[in-house]
């Protein structure tokens, strides 16, 4: 286990979307890799970490914490990230930092106010609204905590100048544009969680002592119901909608 010191080293991983990424945070200096994984996250993540360690000339014992994108996101992807983070943390005796993927996308946007929306399938969204704290480039105030909703009931925004980020705007762009008429200055549907931002946010969690023991690390699940029933699929088909895939 790395001794407490001024230099902070964090290993982070993110597998909650179709992308797979890993990053090494060395007190603000970052090495990262990312690949469009489809469903190959479990094949890619450990070789990706090994490659970063070789490039940096580091070992797992050099890190002060292991961070992962805890969700919301793909159920399978979240379990992969959590399991790998737990295994590496157990092996090295370090703590785990669980970071919101919605907040990670807000961080990636560079915006002062970010409404993060992910497509949750089944006609629903994972949403969260965050406003940057002027005291730090990585400090955020939670305006609306992560939640599962349909576009019509997405959290209200009472001010203008918000940036909409995440895949929810690609899938439900028209409904969200109607919901937030006059509130959004732009949308960036292409943004997705990345291990580099997971690491940056985790650094503040580590410094604040907001980590957990490996056995206490958990994904953030906002939904227990992960697939439509037969009757629900029939209803979607009858309404002329597209039947979503299992998430």
Are 137 and 84 members of one domain?
no
Measured distance CA(10)–CA(26) in Å, rounded: 7
- Indicate whether 232 belongs to any domain: no
What six digits make up the tokens of 109?
A: 């946007």
CATH number at residue 119: 3.30.420.40
Q: Quote the pLDDT of residue 1.
A: 47
Q: Quote the pLDDT of residue 229.
A: 47
Are 89 and 202 members of one domain?
yes
- Indicate whether 236 belongs to any domain: no
Q: Quote the pLDDT of residue 138.
A: 74
Q: Quote the pLDDT of residue 224.
A: 66
- Indicate whether 246 belongs to any domain: no
Q: Quote the pLDDT of residue 6.
A: 53
Q: Quote the pLDDT of residue 195.
A: 98
Q: Quote the pLDDT of residue 113.
A: 97
Domain extent, residue 37, equals: 9-102+193-216
List, run by run, the mean pLDDT of 10-residue segments along the chain (247 residues).
64 98 94 96 97 96 97 96 97 97 97 97 96 80 97 96 98 97 97 97 94 97 62 45 36
Are 66 and 86 members of one domain?
yes
Q: Which of 196, 225, 2 is nearest to 99 (CA)?
A: 196
> What are residue 101's phi and psi, to 5 degrees?
-70, -30
**Coarse DSSP helix, strand, coil percentages of the chain, rounded to the nearest 5 percent:** 35, 30, 35
- Indicate whether 87 belongs to any domain: yes
Number of domains the chain is built from: 2
- Indicate whether 208 belongs to any domain: yes
The pTM (predicted TM-score) of the whole model is 0.87
Cβ atoms of 197 and 107 within 8 Å: the answer is yes
- Indicate whether 234 belongs to any domain: no
Q: Quote the pLDDT of residue 27.
A: 83
Cβ atoms of 117 and 150 within 8 Å: the answer is no
Residues 39-52 as b or e (16 or more Cβ within 10 Å = b): eebbebbeebbeeb
- Indicate whether 2 belongs to any domain: no
Are 115 and 153 members of one domain?
yes
Q: Quote the pLDDT of residue 17.
A: 97
Are 114 and 198 members of one domain?
no
């Amino acid at each position: 286990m790395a001794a407490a010191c001024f230099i902070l080293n964090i290993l982070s991983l993110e597998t909650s979307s179709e992308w797979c990424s890993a990053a090494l945070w060395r007190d603000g200096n970052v090495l990262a890799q990312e690949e469009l994984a489809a469903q190959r996250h479990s094949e890619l993540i450990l070789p990706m970490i090994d490659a970063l360690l070789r490039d940096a000339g580091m070992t797992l014992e050099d890190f002060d914490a292991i961070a992962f994108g805890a969700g919301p996101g793909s159920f399978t992807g979240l379990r992969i990230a959590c399991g790998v983070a737990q295994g590496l943390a157990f092996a090295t005796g370090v703590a785990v930092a669980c970071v919101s993927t919605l907040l990670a996308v807000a961080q990636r946007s560079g915006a002062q106010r970010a409404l993060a929306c992910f497509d949750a399938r089944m006609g629903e969204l994972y949403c969260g609204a965050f406003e940057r704290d002027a005291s730090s480039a990585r400090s955020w105030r939670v305006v609306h905590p992560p939640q599962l909703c349909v576009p019509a009931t997405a959290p209200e925004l009472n001010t203008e100048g918000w940036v909409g980020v995440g895949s929810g705007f690609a899938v439900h762009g028209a409904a969200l544009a109607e919901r937030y008429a006059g509130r959004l200055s732009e949308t960036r549907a292409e943004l997705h969680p990345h291990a580099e931002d997971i690491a940056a946010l985790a650094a503040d969690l580590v410094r604040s002592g907001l980590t957990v023991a490996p056995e206490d690390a958990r994904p953030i699940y906002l939904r227990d119901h992960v697939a439509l029933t037969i009757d629900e699929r029939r209803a979607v088909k009858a309404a002329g909608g597209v039947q979503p895939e299992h998430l």
